[in-house]
Chains A and B, each alone.
Chain A
Amino acid sequence: MRSVGVGALMAGDPLLSVRDLHVRFATERGDVNAVNGVSFDLHEGQTLAIVGESGSGKSVTAKTLMNLLPRSARVSGEVTYGGHDVRALAAAGTKHFFGVQMTMVFQDPMTSLNPVKRVGEQIAETLRYHLGRSRSEARSEAVELLDTVGVPEPARRVRQYPHELSGGLRQRVVIAMALACRPRLLIADEPTTAVDVTVQKHLLDLLDDLRRRRGMSMILITHDLGVARGRADDVAVMYAGRVVETADADTLFADMRHPYTEALLRSIPRIEDPVHHRLDPIQGRPPESIDPPEACAFAPRCAYAQSDCLNGVPELDGLLGLHRFACLHPTGTERGAAAMSANQAAGVTAAGMPVGGDR
């Protein structure tokens, strides 16, 4: 048992680095390939948004980083934090790494607090364990933390149980709990899906503000590309366990190349839309992750799909850290435009999806 002190990084070195991550679950129905070769870097003080539909492997990726997968998971690839192999640190039972260096908040605040412990205790316990605070020090720090995350009457709240708090307050408690030991990296897995839209925006802004003030790095996981806009430095779009497009946020929003990213963007509600504006949900459903065919996974739902899309999985082109995308007929390029007009002329894509002429 030892603790890991990750000091100053060498200039240019990433805080977190993920290379060729694969995660497979052996289930009764067959192997589920939840993550298929994900790579990215995250630099100190930056935010990476991982965006994708349900089932695209976002949570599995996050749990791999935190070493939280069940034993049925088969993991390969490399995850390093400040140059240390994270899974090796976890296997060695390294103290004061998770929770202090990196930590995570989960999708659902209703279930991520222990129902039988007072919220104050749940915040204080990390302070006591990691930072050796006394009971009373930890208690008053817990009150301060709740105040920081905007919980009204924090001194009363610490003595309450989770079921006595609203969903929004609970998620604030979870955030306070995660931030207690001032972690350098926070993984936020759809931290706001379970609360209503106005609360959602408050919480995201709060997280963003705290991140800035504390110089923390963050991985923000969401299915809503709109959440990433304005909050993330980099964006990685995931589909069927793969990163299909990644770039810095400005480039991605200005110059997206992958048809899936384009479809995701069209499915975001915008404030300026008229009230009953019809959103364009992405047609079809994400593919089964058991025995996927050797083809572009998005092809059955892609308006650009050509016959070459069905022969093999497109590579994620380009250098790590630059704008990369895995598509043979990228939107906004001549190849893409040609593919689209060919499909419109035929009324159907090479994968058999009907396309209207007026899109």
Chain B
Amino acid sequence: MARFVLRRVALLLAVLFAVTFLGFAAMNLLGDPLVNVVGVLAELDCDAIEAGTAEDTTVDAASRDCDTVAAARAEYHLDRAVPVRYGLWLGDMATGDFGTSFQNDQPVSQVIREKLPETVILLVMAQAVALGLAVPWGVLAAYRANRAFDRGSTVASFGLLSVPNFALGVVLLYLLALRWQIFPSAYESDSVSGLLFSMVLPALTLGLPLAASYQRLLRTDLITTLQEDYVHMARAKGLPPMRIMFRHALRPSLFSVVTVFGVSTGTLIGGSLVVEQIFGIPGIGREIVTAVIRDDFPVVLAIVMVVAVTFVVLNFLVDLLYSWLDPRVRAR
């Protein structure tokens, strides 16, 4: 177990290293970061101004433009080569200094702290919707495989899987919020219950297609499991069908679902970019869109890191789930 955890931590570090390095390289090579920080001031030829060969056009003498530029260069280590800059930046990160947003001078850690909870709530609710629907749905479809209910489910799930997020979101919004007025149409944060309630539609938008793919996987695996000898044995023992389903067949049939659960978070975060926009949720998804547009690379990198950490941690949980699902994995 200790070795298992160590291997995971090593993996986490490797993933973080790779993700941040790529992100860092992209942000630095695809544009001049100095322009992103100080805007047009980046075009000032401060060396010449220092040397007196160019004119200082600063309006406010108290904060000379060239000082601003110099401060930015120092903070983001812009005088150094990109790999060195990356190393220095990593050092800052390690001491908990995530830097400052280019857009509004807020510390990045504060941005994350404000936006992350909304997105986490959204994703947890979406997974709850997906799993809560998929398990009974998949069990019923497998129990009556190839009969009417199963065939109907196949059509319904392919339908859900082929509708794009924004379309599903808009349809749900129109029907459940505007037409029948069951759920609020936009984000509310007055109370916890109001917040959760306003998250139902976004969670459905993200969760329904995921429920459909979980259901397909669970159905297929269950049908295979139901042909196992130990299921026949359970029937020969006279146990009723639903007890056999839930006590004998379900657990060994959850592997594919759990695997997809582990990787679905990436897809869900992708979906949250759109869904947070539609429902006006001030979360990470919306934040990253604006940050990317404005080349706010400290924020982008921080969000990328948060996502990467989540991903690795979730897959660590998935491995633990595997060993709960099958004791033979534990023996390894």
Contacts and interface: CB of A to CB of B under 8 A. Distances in A.
Contact of A161 (B232, B236, B243, B327): B327
Nearest to A123: B237
Interface string B220-255: 000000011110111111111001000110011000
Nearest to A163: B328
A251 B234 CA distance: 37
A203 interface: no
B247 A125 contact: yes
Interface string A76-102: 000000000000000001011111100
Given A116-B325, A116-B327, A66 B230 contact: no
A99 B236 contact: yes
B114 interface: no
Interface stretch (A22-30, A106-114, A217-225, A252-260): A106-114
Contacts of B233: 104-106, 112-114, 174, 177
B327 A129 contact: no
B14 interface: no
Contacts of B326: 115-116
Interface in A147-190: 161, 163, 174, 177-178
Contacts of B328: 115, 161, 163
B252 A103 contact: no
Contacts of A97: 238
Contacts of B228: 111
Nearest to A100: B238
B175 to A, nearest CB: 38
A270 interface: no
B331 interface: yes
A127 to B, nearest CB: 10
Give the residue among B235, B239, B248 with the most A Cβ atoms within 10 A: B235
A99 B237 contact: yes
Contacts of B325: 116
A167 to B, nearest CB: 14
Contact of A112 (B232, B240, B327): B232
Given A114-B248, A115-B252, A163-B328, A95 B229 contact: no
B247 to A, nearest CB: 7
A130 B238 contact: yes
Contacts of A108: 229
B236 A66 contact: yes
B interface residue count range (under 10 / 10 to 19 / 20 to 34 / 35 or more):
20 to 34
Nearest to A96: B238
Nearest to A68: B232
Given A125-B247, A163-B328, A106 B232 contact: yes
Contacts of A98: 235-238
A214 interface: no
Interface string B317-329: 0000000011110
Interface string A126-145: 10011000000000000000
A107 B236 CA distance: 13
B225 to A, nearest CB: 10
B237 A111 contact: no
Nearest to B241: A93
Contact of A114 (B227, B234, B236): B234
Contacts of B251: 116
A266 interface: no
A45 to B, nearest CB: 21
Nearest to A104: B236
A103 to B, nearest CB: 5
Interface in B81-134: none
B193 to A, nearest CB: 38
B239 A125 contact: yes
A111 B239 contact: no
Contacts of A212: none
Give the residue among A98, A103, A114 with the most B Cβ atoms within 10 A: A114
B238 A99 contact: yes
A103 B230 CA distance: 13
Interface string A54-74: 000000000100101010000
Nearest to B251: A116
A99 B248 CA distance: 16
A103 B237 contact: yes
A105 B235 CA distance: 11
Contacts of A95: 238, 240
B238 A115 contact: no
A182 to B, nearest CB: 13
Contacts of A103: 236-238
Given A112-B230, A116-B326, A68 B235 contact: yes
A117 interface: yes
A104 B235 CA distance: 9
A68 B233 CA distance: 9
Nearest to A114: B230
A180 to B, nearest CB: 8
Interface in B229-286: 229-230, 232-240, 243, 247-248, 251-252
A111 B236 contact: no
Interface of B: 227-230, 232-240, 243, 247-248, 251-252, 325-328, 331
- In order of increasing CB-CB distance, the 6 nearest A-B pairs are A99-B238, A98-B238, A111-B229, A104-B236, A99-B237, A114-B230
7 contacts: A66-B236, A98-B237, A112-B233, A114-B234, A117-B248, A177-B233, A178-B237
